[in-house]
A and B are shown apart, each in its own frame.
Chain A
Amino acid sequence: MTLSVDISHRLGDFAVEANFESAGRLTALFGPSGSGKSTLINLVAGLIRPQKGRIAVDGRVLVDTAAGMFVPMHKRRIGMVFQDARLFPHMSVAGNLRYGRWFTPPAERYANIDAVVDLLGIGHLLGRRPAKLSGGEKQRVAIGRALLASPKLLLMDEPLASLDEARKSEILPYIERLRDETKIPIVYVSHSVAEVARLASDVVVLSQGKVAAFGPAEAIMQRLDLLPTEERGEGGAVLDTRVLRHDEAFGMTVLGSPAGEIRIPRIARPVGSPVRLRIRARDVMIATEQPAGLSALNILAGTIAAVRPGVGPTVEIAIDCNGATVLARITEQSKQSLRLALGREVFAVIKTVSFDSATTGAGLPAEADG
């Protein structure tokens, strides 16, 4: 799937001007509130008509103002999951799920109701009314409803933003399964580093209506300067790792990565399963010699690949650990006293306890265990 967007749209004194092309499994539109993410996704869905520009999915033009073309939303075959679920209050959960199916030509119905119900774990809710569901359940049903219209592209507009942390970690695994087990490309709007780092394959960073950066999630998450101020502490390297073994005696899980073994608090994932690990830059210390007598369990050897000025008295140091990049945020003073410079061999030190469910993707439902 390729989503290409070249849009210019003005709302009062706010303008959205975006030009990018993404072929990712899950493309995140990332930025603080008011950056134009929602406007952009509404333009793709066809809820808003752009003043100027062109949007195409896999070469199929959805809107092209120059050619006077506009495909209305009901003909776009683009599923949408809204922040506020928007389940139809006069229908049961089953009625909501079946709604989009009616309007899908039989030849294009690929979504199977049993499979979707299974994927989202909503079988026990089918007979209920939306008003009787919790926030997390509503959102899962909303995802199912969008999927069952057999869309060619799925848009998710801050689907977790109105949920508390517990509900968020209830739904995140389902979105991961959606990304990994179905073939539908997803565009995901979010202002949360934790969600984007965990879910996205590609990230479009929006700032004041413009594309500030675009690239693979691993690269974007290391650009702390691109992150919204209040989320900057969450930024850091994203490593694709795999569960090597569980250390039951100490309640830890050992992950394998190109940088070496990384020990994190025990997570409920089977051995061999992939884990996308985010290492916050603020959690990484740098040592110039192999540390001894240190409580931190993770010590990764590498060479300094980049030194960038950070915010305030900080600098950001990227350490290349055998091909995997780990990002550290330290003070300018430490940098100078340790004489850290490009090419220097150092050790990145990370405490096991600095990993939590937001960075390891733990808090998974019991069925993922085993």
Chain B
Amino acid sequence: MSWLLDLTPDEWNAVRLSIKVATVAMLASLPPGILIALLLARGRFWGKTLLNGLVHLPLILPPVVTGYLLLLTFGKRGPAGAFLAEHFGIVFSFRWTGAALACGVMGFPLMVRAIRLSIEAVDRKMEAAAGTLGANPPWVFATITLPLILPGLIAGAILSFAKAMGEFGATITFVSNIPNETQTLPSAIYTFTQVPGGDAGALRLTLISIVISMVALVASEVLARRVGRRMDIE
């Protein structure tokens, strides 16, 4: 059994990198995710259908296409990539940040959907009540809307994290498969399957993937239940 737990440094790096990439992807997509979900749930503006389609695009497109589009846009010579590198020193291409971007984009539609549904379920009369008590719209959002959508927020975040843990196609297309930099768990498993004698490594990483996914799911379940109990919807 010891071979199961005996990970090589490279394998450990893949595990650590995957968790880092997925966490950053999830946290970075939360603010824009909430904003877009709010716009889609409550906004009335021209181009709403277009925005909705755009958000859902990564869900429908082959991941390789999304990865390639990211490469074109955020690559060294891409318009956004060049701008960000020049003005903010943020470089995506062939860096772990690029992997996080790819994972974030791929998980974004799932996150937005979950948050949007919970926003649509919020009783707007509660917000009106808070308004009559003197809270201006940003305060109403922070003290009423946000706590009420917390279960949806958690669900969205977990979905985004899970998607990021499993994301392969867009990542490998956009930032390739560089050990210690962009080689996440799926990429590492893929690499193992491509070399003779890699079976043991592939199996080890597969088991670790399963464990991480289960822990994340159980944690989200516990969290959501605790929030739900605290709120006790009438």
- By a beta-carbon cutoff of 8 Å, the part of chain A in contact with chain B is 45-47, 72-80, 82, 84, 86, 88-90, 99-100, 102-104, 129-132, 145-146, 149
Contacts and interface: CB of A to CB of B under 8 A. Distances in A.
Interface string B126-137: 101111111111
B144 interface: yes
A77 B131 CA distance: 10
B231 A86 contact: no
A39 B132 CA distance: 15
Given A131-B232, A131-B233, A86 B126 contact: yes
Interface residues of B, number: 23
A86 B133 contact: no
A224 to B, nearest CB: 35
A36 to B, nearest CB: 19
B148 A146 contact: no
Interface in B27-50: none
Given A47-B128, A131-B232, A90 B133 contact: no
B230 interface: yes
Interface in B215-234: 230-234
A78 B128 CA distance: 12
B144 A79 contact: no
Given A88-B144, A130-B234, A131-B233, A103 B134 contact: yes
A80 B132 contact: yes
A76 B132 CA distance: 8
Dominant secondary structure of chain B at its interface with chain A: helix
A238 B63 CA distance: 77
A74 B127 CA distance: 11
Interface of B: 125-126, 128-137, 139-140, 143-144, 147-148, 230-234
A99 B130 CA distance: 8
Contacts of A130: 234
Contact of B135 (A74, A82, A89): A74
Contacts of B135: 74, 99, 102-103
Given A90-B148, A103-B135, A103-B139, A80 B129 contact: yes
Contacts of A47: 128, 131-132
Contacts of A84: 125
A78 B137 CA distance: 16
Contact of B131 (A73, A90, A132): A73
A99 B133 contact: yes
B234 A131 contact: yes
Given A74-B136, A82-B125, A103-B135, A88 B234 contact: no
- 6 shortest interchain CB distances as A-B pairs: A103-B134, A100-B133, A131-B232, A86-B129, A80-B132, A90-B147
Nearest to B147: A90
A78 B140 CA distance: 16
A149 B133 contact: yes
22 contacts: A46-B131, A46-B132, A72-B131, A72-B136, A73-B128, A74-B134, A77-B134, A82-B129, A86-B126, A88-B126, A88-B130, A89-B126, A89-B231, A90-B148, A90-B230, A99-B135, A99-B143, A102-B135, A129-B232, A130-B234, A149-B132, A149-B133
Contacts of B128: 47, 73, 86
